[in-house]
Chains A and B, each alone.
Chain A
């Protein structure tokens, strides 16, 4: 036997019952380790099926070449099978194997009581008949929704209070932070906002042109672009982009600070995180989003201009002339007027979810995802509300 340790670990695990005089003996051999666990588990299963299994009086382990904790777990399982609860006596010469087996012995009754202190408490959900459970879950969800809404409203209320204090005493406002955030969320977002609305403008006018050409009313593409981009698409697209770009970064920034106890440190010094972190961020967003919307409007129309130039042979001159006739200040103002509301919602949700992060990287990630979904949902819902409201009052 001059096999290397690696070969010994690879040796196939075997198990057989032999008759030694009057007694049935169980012989184990080969390697009982993690690499051979599949095979040894099959051996253990097959042992259960053997007709003589109940008669086995002792276990001979001298043929076992390698044993680790996983293998020992299986060996112990086999040892406990023939006589309920009482392990089979062993024939073994290797003290190391005996030690591993003793370590991996499943807890006895006396141990079980001690281990109970480490058992997780049962979930709070009470046991009910099957038909009650859906109702229970529904109630749980609704309560969570109500509590969550309340928390968000109270957060928004505290935000307004601190914002009011900032307006009353502009000298104490965090101007450096506001300007910094304006640059991050506004100036740096211009290229992507411009590019995307340019593309959307192109797509819109291609679609409209192919439909309107049927009536010979190609020039009305301009009217459609004007109302669609100025009133809806410009602001909606920008808000969604900013929610994904800046709202998420607010959540991640504040969440990471919460995870690092920086928020606690701030409170312990006596600085209000609402004043230090939330108000500058939301203010910056409210100030920059309308500007981004203007960029989106112009570049969306530019996209439309390029598209109709190539597809319908409407020259830029004709386009601009038609645009001047179609231009309605109201559409532009409505689109622009919605921007601050969207900005406030995106900013507040982004910051709120950041504060909700716990001390783990996983929770920061989860809250970031949630903040983006929530704020895009709220933006679209609010936009729908504006559309219904403004139409019903006739604007």
Chain B
């Protein structure tokens, strides 16, 4: 069953103090698909992403990534084996954090090279070549590699962060609001960049977004996070047929109109 699934979440429960964020949450993400994750502010989308990559420990439930049950590995395996399972999983995903989260003390090129250098100890010329390739893949000029993150514009920073997320050639790309804070043209360009990369590299894409245009442009399926669980998963047409008041409101606002008109 787990062979065709990239990520599988079972019975996830997350709480902070007395506030329950997720309760018995289930979600399956197929290999090669692009899944959008939507939900109101504070509904726990970022927490869910952090749960998948192990930055947030769920109080109940299991996380399986590329067939590796990380929760069980942690509970049942020895420390060394569990660490190995986690490292194995970590090399299969790349994460684009909300503001890029590039290491501010390193140049863009060094940011891309860091994971490669630490894990594989490639020699300098090879590292530079790989970093140059990643920069070209995300559409950044070669000279931007020598710049520090603070010297880049918002859109370029996101591209640089995407290049770092792709450094280890992951199978899964996790994006936390990739187009937030970009102007519509830059956002559309970023969407088409993700589409191109996804087709060429066969990536599984998981994308938290508030941008309905991005949902239309990139995602095959969309998961709705509400009422502490995944309320529904499906294509946008299926979601609209659901007749759920929250989903209706989400897509019927002025902001959503252009996107819906584009498909009808």
Contact = CB atoms under 8 A, between A and B. Distances in A.
Interface of A: 121, 253, 256-257, 260-262, 264-271
A118 to B, nearest CB: 12
Contacts of A253: 105
Given A261-B97, A264-B97, A265-B95, A271 B115 contact: yes
A261 B101 contact: yes
B104 A260 contact: yes
Interface stretch (B83-91, B196-204, B216-224): B83-91
Contact of A264 (B55, B87, B114, B164): B55
7 smallest beta-carbon distances between A and B, as pairs: A270-B90, A261-B101, A265-B101, A268-B95, A261-B97, A269-B115, A268-B53
Interface in B12-70: 18, 50, 53-55
B104 to A, nearest CB: 6
A134 to B, nearest CB: 25
Nearest to B91: A270
A265 B115 contact: no
Nearest to B52: A268
26 contacts: A121-B18, A256-B104, A260-B104, A261-B97, A261-B98, A261-B99, A261-B101, A262-B102, A262-B103, A264-B50, A264-B55, A264-B101, A265-B95, A265-B97, A265-B102, A266-B103, A267-B54, A267-B55, A268-B53, A268-B95, A269-B115, A269-B168, A270-B86, A270-B90, A270-B91, A270-B119
B101 A271 contact: no
B53 to A, nearest CB: 5
A59 B97 CA distance: 57
B185 interface: no
B190 interface: no
Given A260-B99, A261-B98, A261-B99, A269 B104 contact: no
A262 B115 contact: no
Interface in B149-199: 164, 168
Contact of A268 (B18, B90, B119): B90
Contacts of B18: 121
Contact of B93 (A257, A262, A264, A268): A268
Contacts of A265: 95, 97, 101-103, 164
A262 B55 CA distance: 12
Given A268-B53, A268-B55, A270-B115, A262 B87 contact: no
Contacts of B262: none
A265 B103 CA distance: 8
A271 B55 CA distance: 12
B157 to A, nearest CB: 11
B113 to A, nearest CB: 12
Nearest to A270: B90
Given A257-B103, A266-B103, 7 more contacts: A262-B103, A265-B101, A269-B95, A270-B87, A270-B91, A271-B114, A271-B118
Contact of A262 (B86, B91, B101): B101
Contact of B104 (A257, A267, A268, A271): A257
Contacts of B86: 270
Nearest to B119: A270
A268 B90 CA distance: 7
A256 B115 CA distance: 21
A35 to B, nearest CB: 36
Contacts of A269: 90, 95, 114-115, 168
A267 B53 CA distance: 9
Contacts of A268: 53-55, 90, 93, 95
Interface centre among A256, A262, A270 (most CB of B within 10 A): A270
Nearest to B89: A270
A179 to B, nearest CB: 15
Interface centre among B98, B99, B168 (most CB of A within 10 A): B99
Nearest to A256: B104
A256 B102 CA distance: 12
Nearest to A269: B115
Nearest to B97: A261
Nearest to A266: B103
A182 to B, nearest CB: 16
A271 B91 CA distance: 11
B232 to A, nearest CB: 24
A56 to B, nearest CB: 44
A389 B95 CA distance: 52
Nearest to B86: A270
Contacts of A256: 104
A261 B55 CA distance: 11
